[in-house]
Structure 1
Amino acid sequence: MGSASLTPVKTRIRWRRWAAGGVGALLAGVLLPQIVVPLAAWGRTFDRPEDLPARHVGLVLGTSKYLASGRVNRYYLYRIDAAEAAYKAGKVRVLLLSGDNSSVSYDEPTTMKEDLLERGIPAEQLVLDYAGFRTLDSVVRAAEVFGTRQFTLISQPFHNERAIFLARTRGLDAAALNARDVTGRSGLKVQGREVLARVKAVLDVLRGKGPKFLGEPVDVPE
């Protein structure tokens, strides 16, 4: 009877160990990407255009120009500022504008092109990637479609780190210019989502996930 009465106790202990192991694995799965991703970008991100290594192509990562409220998205605006600065500092010669054009009414690359033209960037130095649906797609397509394995990423610091991580796992040579970041409530929301985005980035690498579309090669101007 004594041994029988111990069975529920042993079962509870076993379940607690399994639960603790599961929680530990979950925490490791979330926390490790927060370490691995910035380590991959260590020494490769720059806050000032003049500190950038000179590269032929600057890969500008797209986002929506406008928020749901109708106001201009500061993430977008600051990326355009940084792209202009990198080009005018002579640190990149071509800007590859990569974003989402999943519908006729939504076209991130063309919007970026129009705004950069207004800032005096020559049209012949702007190349559009209409299938940059995700950061992974933009990075891989830069190499596989546009034939550039060495480029400067242009986005906010947290985004640049993740993009560099994805690039380096593909054997690509990426540096980055950090666009001005966004603070306040909207910035906190994006930073919160970035935690999960880094977990997904690591999982995508482990699974060997590729971009949604590739397609025929596209020449980049010399």
Structure 2
Amino acid sequence: MKRKLLKLTGIFILIPLLILFICHTTITNSAKGKTFDNTDEIPKNKVGLVLGTSKKLSSGHSNPYYEYRITATVRLYQAKKIDFVLVSGDNGSRYYNEPTTFKKDLVKAGIPENKIYLDYAGFRTLDSMYRAKVVFGLEKVTVISQEFHNERAIYLGKQKGLNAIGFNAKDVSGQNGLKVHVREYFARVKVFLDMFMNTQPKFFGDKIEIK
């Protein structure tokens, strides 16, 4: 009886780990050859899609993920590998507005205001990628975020017929980075659950042309 219980316990532990591994590997493999670190190597696209995050951590300190995405976007624009920037993020309340905050810092860093478009309904990566295709009418896009995030975004875009590549912002090491990478495994499982349930963005709205 004890041996049976141990065997069942092992199975219950193994199955979730196997699911995590399969989801992670599927998304990583789907993005092979589609993410870039060097502006010299990345193909040009009309639009760079920056995936939003908060400027500050809950501790009140600067969020390095935010800072590195700003830097990556400016690098890509200055290298003339994108003509426009689409900032997609959460605009949950008047006190929290990722797209507007990003825009202010991008303008401050030298990107012209008229080259920046905002998607206020990018509550999740799924929303950002689907809306880039359906609302903003994009067929191709360069996603700007950390590599692990770009991989997931590329996979989601592919499901919607959006041809995406990724420009990798610098990643974050240490304890904060480890926590985010652990969460990413579960976020990748959620991708397949969303596909199974045909989850749609929270909002669509009127179409917007980037020109």
Q: Does 1:75 align with 2:65?
A: yes
Q: Does 1:129 align with 2:119?
A: yes
Q: Does 1:198 align with 2:188?
A: yes
**Of 96, 115, 128, the match for 2:105:** 115
Where does residue 160 of structure 2 map in the other structure? 170
Residue identity matched to 1:173:
N
Give the percent of matched residue pairs that are identical in Structure 1 and Structure 2: 47
- Indicate the RMSD between aligned Cα atoms, in angstroms: 1.7
Q: Does 1:95 align with 2:122?
A: no
Contact 1:56–1:94, Cα closer than 8 Å, also in 2: yes
Normalised by the length of structure 2, the TM-score is 0.94
Give per-residue Cα distances to partners, 1:47-87, cap 9 Å, x unaligned.
Answer: 01221111001000000001122211000000000000111
User: How far apart are the structure 2 equivalents of 1:192 and 1:19?
Assistant: 23
After TM superposition, give the deviation of residue 25 of structure 1 in Å.
3.3
User: How far apart are the structure 2 equivalents of 1:70 and 1:121?
Assistant: 27
**How many residue pairs align between the two structures?**
211
Q: Does 1:218 align with 2:208?
A: yes
After TM superposition, give the deviation of residue 120 of structure 1 in Å.
1.3
Q: Does 1:143 align with 2:133?
A: yes
**Of 54, 57, 61, the match for 2:47:** 57
Rg larger in 1 or in 2? 1
Where does residue 37 of structure 1 map in the other structure? 27
Partner SS, residue 137 of structure 1: helix
Structure 2 gaps of 5+ residues are none
After TM superposition, give the deviation of residue 209 of structure 1 in Å.
1.1
Where does residue 153 of structure 1 map in the other structure? 143
Structure 1 gaps of 5+ residues are 1-8
